[in-house]
Amino acid sequence: MLDLILCVDDDPITLMLCKKVITKASFSDAIITAKNGEEALQYFNSIINKEGNKLPNLIFLDLNMPVMDGWEFLDNFSTNKYSEVNKTKIVVLSSTIDPEDLQKSKKYPMV
């Protein structure tokens, strides 16, 4: 069982289902959500260099979102600013069927 999972998706139904499935499967003790990549980065900004804050063990990330999409999140999360936290594994959850998206996602070591 994981301590904490972060689900990043702009669809409230997807976030609700993510929470229900993870909870029902006893896959994680806690689940937090963000509606887009910007909210997810704000969460990480709030916990960087602060003791006692748990890092997510896993991130479920949508690619197509308003404000900041999954690609922008990955670009930012890969920078030195997030070097202390970007070891978190990321699972991309997206409706895209574009093979280029699959190849592009492989360029990010945390995916």
Domains of the chain: 1-50+71-94 (3.40.50.2300)
pTM of the model: 0.91
Q: Between 50 and 10, name the one with better pLDDT.
A: 10
pLDDT of residue 98: 84
Name the nearest CA neighbour of 5 among 25, 30, 42, 41.
Answer: 30
- Whether 11 shows a pLDDT value over 80: the answer reads yes
What are 77-99's pLDDT values in tens digits?
Answer: 999 999 888 889 999 988 878 88
Q: Which amino acid is at 4?
A: L
